[in-house]
Amino acid sequence: MDTSKVCQLTPWDTRGYSTALNPRFVKTGRMFRGFFVKTISFVGYTVQYGCIAHCAFEYIGEFVSCSGPSMEPTITNHDVVFSKRVSRHLCRIQKGHIVIAKSPFDPKMNICKRVMGLEGDKVCTSGPSDVFKTHTYVPRGHVWLEGDNLRNSTDSRSYGPIPYALIRGRVCLKMWPPHSFGVLAESPNDGRIL
Amino acid sequence: MFRGFFVKTISFVGYTVQYGCIAHCAFEYIGEFVSCSGPSMEPTITNHDVVFSKRVSRHLCRIQKGHIVIAKSPFDPKMNICKRVMGLEGDKVCTSGPSDVFKTHTYVPRGHVWLEGDNLRNSTDSRSYGPIPYALIRGRVCLKMWPPHSFGVLAESPNDGRIL
């Protein structure tokens, strides 16, 4: 056998390609690039639709799960309500509306109360069982909030009126539980609205 | 022809809404440019200065004493105010002026901040309307963009003695 004609062991494989251009490596390289491109476009779509969803919740409305007894019997613990954001942005919150607002004592918490007085209104600061009635006026740019369950509610009667800018939205519909689905009732304490 | 026009309009509206939402979220979560007016923050910020306000600090609750913040006005939900934070919740703050003989103090309630303008003689701030809820803060002013000759990081408070 003529050894000069035997192929030497070189980096070239039997098909004549170098290992650098070996189809196996080319395929792996393409796979990584394809994976990278897919990840980038997935992240891109997530950011895009996340922003659109955020703006929908910010400007149209959001679902809120309420907890606590301060709004009984209108809203009870674990009820889910729908809160319209449009009313707040267009400044159309009125007396008697139930609102979701940021807590003045904890920026990460929200509170759900009824508006009992707007700026300039006279509000009753004494309880329904007090002998002597005391009143105060709501300052400019503020609202007076009270829970429907006056005996068990920490509201403007204890911490004073809150700035209108803290209001997030107006609760307009109860979504859960199903047997009480629908528009929320009027205030049971109508006599306190002066 | 009408159908093509209709389809083009719909897709134009679609793209506008899409990019509008992305831009809104960028301003909401990253930062925004604010044009300031009024004399209450002189000499640090003067009338018609443009500053950049970071929103991240507010969302992560990293506002400290001495920071200049943009907040919603407690008296007008459509207006914003630009003041310096002189006290956080639990801090003791000086409610009397620098020229008063008797110094009076108060404590900042939970969840509130005490704001004062740098121009103490010509600023309506917490000394008149009390502390404001932290939730009203929109962002922290970190950079002055305009005018070009005063571009850069903002100065420390000229009233450092009032921070207790």
Fold of B32-162: Umud Fragment, subunit A (2.10.109)
Chain B environment of A91 (Cβ under 8 Å): 77-78
Measured distance CA(B32)–CA(B40) in Å, rounded: 21
Whether the ipTM is more than 0.90: the answer is: no
A170 phi/psi in degrees, rounded to 5: -105, 130
Query: Which residues of A are the active-site residues?
Result: 70, 113
Token pair recorded at residue A184: 């929320």
Task: State pLDDT tens for residues A76-123.
Answer: 888 999 998 887 777 788 899 999 999 999 988 999 999 999 999 999
Chain A environment of B74 (Cβ under 8 Å): 141-142, 163, 165
Distance from CA of A187 to the nearest CA of B (A): 25
**Is the bond preceding residue B131 a cis peptide, omega within 30 degrees?**
no
Element at B31 (helix H, strand E): strand B31-35
Instruction: Put residue A158 in one of left, alpha, beta given phi > 0 → left and psi -120 to 50 → alpha.
Output: alpha
Query: In residues, how long is chain A?
Result: 194
Counted across chains A and B, CB pairs separated by less than 8 A come out at: 70
Q: What is the DSSP string of B65-105?
A: TT-EEEEE-SS-TT-EEEEEEEE-TT-EEE-S-TT-SS--E
Residue type, position B19, single letter: Y
Q: In tens digits, what is the pLDDT along chain B, a chain of 164 residues?
A: 888 899 999 999 999 988 898 898 888 888 889 888 888 888 888 888 999 998 887 777 788 899 999 999 999 988 999 999 999 999 999 888 777 788 888 999 999 999 999 998 889 999 999 999 999 999 999 899 988 888 888 888 888 777 77
Query: Any idea where the domains of chain B sit in the sequence?
Result: 32-162
Chain B environment of A163 (Cβ under 8 Å): 72, 74-75, 77, 132-133, 136
Distance from CA of B65 to the nearest CA of A (A): 17
Architecture of domain A61-192 in this structure = Ribbon (2.10)
